[in-house]
């Protein structure tokens, strides 16, 4: 076991039943012996970003504490994505589940397979809105998540109350 680190994750999906993919992913994290699921946000609906000719996305954020290293956590995220049927065909294309590590403690790294904090986090409302719900005071690059959120347009990120209720019911 390594050093316990708090990590922030962003989850998204727009194929199949993304909410069920979120539930399965959160169960996988909570059931892992080196991971403690601390908090998770509501579910938000957003228009596609990048490739716009695809279904709307559902997005949420989660905070966890882990004894895994950042690469081990990345591998776990990719295993969970694959279990949901994720196929990596095109960047910003449709997917059953996408799990991004947004932050891993205070680690700053720039590797081909993993950049932390996530390099586009501060420009994405669909990441900042759910993350601000559960960790507004989390500091990223010297600014709080709440401040980062306040600095961008987020009106296109809409709380999906029905999917949030489904999520909370499924997770007990």
**Which candidate in 45, 98, 124, 160 is catalytic?**
98
Does the annotation count 39 as an active-site position?
no
Does the annotation count 100 as an active-site position?
yes
Does the annotation count 156 as an active-site position?
no
Distance CA 146, CA 164 (A): 21
Residue 83's pLDDT is 87
At 152, the pLDDT band (50, 70, 90 cuts) reads very high
Residue 90's pLDDT is 60
At 33, the pLDDT band (50, 70, 90 cuts) reads very high
**Which candidate in 17, 38, 67, 100 is catalytic?**
100
Q: Are the C-beta atoms of 35 and 7 separated by less than 8 Å? A: no
What is the phi/psi pair of residue 160, to 5°? -105, 95
Structure tokens at 137: 């005071």
Distance CA 56, CA 49 (A): 9
At 50, the pLDDT band (50, 70, 90 cuts) reads confident
**Which candidate in 45, 95, 124, 160 is catalytic?**
95
Does the annotation count 86 as an active-site position?
yes
pLDDT(1) > 60: no
Grouping H, G, I as helix, E, B as strand and the rest as coil, residue 63 is strand
All structural domains of the chain: 5-171 (3.30.70.560)
Count H helices and E strands in the chain, helices first.
5, 10
**Which candidate in 86, 124, 143, 166 is catalytic?**
86
Distance CA 58, CA 61 (A): 11
């Amino acid at each position: 076991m390594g050093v316990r680190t708090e990590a922030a994750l962003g989850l998204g999906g727009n194929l199949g039943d993304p909410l069920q993919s979120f539930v399965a992913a959160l169960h996988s994290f909570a059931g892992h012996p080196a991971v403690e699921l601390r908090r998770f946000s509501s579910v938000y609906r957003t228009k596609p970003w990048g490739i716009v000719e695809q279904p709307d996305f559902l997005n949420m954020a989660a905070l966890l504490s882990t004894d895994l290293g950042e690469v081990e956590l990345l591998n776990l995220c990719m295993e969970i994505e694959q279990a949901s049927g994720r196929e990596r065909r095109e960047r910003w294309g449709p997917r059953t589940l996408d799990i991004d590590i947004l932050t891993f403690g205070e680690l700053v790294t720039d590797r081909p397979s993993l950049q932390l904090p996530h390099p586009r986090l501060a420009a994405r409302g669909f990441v900042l809105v759910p993350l601000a719900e559960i960790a507004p005071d989390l500091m990223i690059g010297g600014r709080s998540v709440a401040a980062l959120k306040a600095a961008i347009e987020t009106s296109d990120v809409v709380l999906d109350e029905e999917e949030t209720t489904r999520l909370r019911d499924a997770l007990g």
